[in-house]
Every structure is written in C-alpha cells, then in structure tokens.
C-alpha cells in the first residue's frame, strides 16, 4: 500500500482522514482491511479502482465513500457492518473506507468535492 494521504472535504473545510493508505493492486485490494482488528480515527484505506465493496471477514463497521474520477462523492454508507455488500455504484472510480462515524462528524454528504494529497512527512 502507498501513502499516507490526507483526505479533505473542500466543500465543508474539514479533514476527513489524515493517515490514508492506497490499495491499488489486485493483492492490496483483495486484502483491504481484513487483517485489521480496528481502524483508528484518522486512518483509512483508498481503494482504486472499484465500484462496489464487501465487508466479509471484517471485524468492525466502517464508513464508506464512493468517489468519481474528479473525487466527488457519489454514494455514502454510514457504519457498514461486517458481512455486507454495497450496491454497484455507477460512475464511481474509487472508494474510501474510514472508521465508523467519520462521515457524520465531518458533515460529508453526496455531491461534496474531496481532495486527496500526500501527507507531509515529519522532519524529526
């Protein structure tokens, strides 16, 4: 996985997540968050490309954001429980998997414009 990235909601002026990793290979997309026991606040996984996901084998609920190629929010799932499927999202190019509650706490809604950028590395 690559990153870390920061995800900002440009319409709301909020940071959705500050430690997001990229899953952009068949292997990294297949594994996703399956090896995690939890997803700490501020963390996330950006899966590219995809138009649907599942939470089979996961141990915790997640918030899910489907994005188009311009990083505009197409569909949202709040607190998607383990062992569930999402529907196929037409026009989606990628998805963000986030800790449950992340979207409500940042006010993120369908139609919002997100920005994903590399997180600055500390100089310590």
CATH code of the domain covering residue 38: 2.60.120.1140
What pTM was computed for the model? Answer: 0.92
Range of the domain at 35: 2-118
- Burial of 14 (C-beta count, 10 Å sphere; 0-12/13-18/19+): middle
pLDDT on residue 94? 98
Count of domains observed in the chain: 1
Let me know if residue 123 belongs to a domain.
no
Let me know if residue 15 belongs to a domain.
yes
Tens of each residue's pLDDT in the chain, 124 residues: 477 999 999 999 999 999 999 999 988 888 888 888 889 999 999 999 999 999 999 999 999 999 999 999 999 999 999 999 999 999 999 999 999 999 999 999 999 999 999 987 765 5
pLDDT on residue 124? 52
């Amino acid at each position: 996985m690559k990153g870390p990235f920061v995800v900002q909601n440009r319409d709301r002026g909020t940071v959705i997540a500050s430690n997001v990793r990229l899953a952009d290979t068949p292997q990294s997309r297949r594994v996703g968050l399956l090896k995690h026991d939890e997803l700490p606040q501020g963390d996330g996984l950006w899966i590219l490309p995809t138009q649907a996901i599942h939470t089979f084998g996961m141990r915790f609920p997640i918030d899910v954001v489907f994005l188009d190629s311009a990083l505009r929010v197409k569909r949202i799932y709040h607190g998607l429980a383990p062992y569930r499927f999402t529907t196929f999202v037409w026009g989606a190019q990628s998805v963000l998997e986030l800790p449950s509650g992340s979207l409500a706490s940042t006010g993120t809604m369908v139609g919002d414009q997100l920005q994903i950028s590399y997180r600055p590395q500390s100089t310590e």
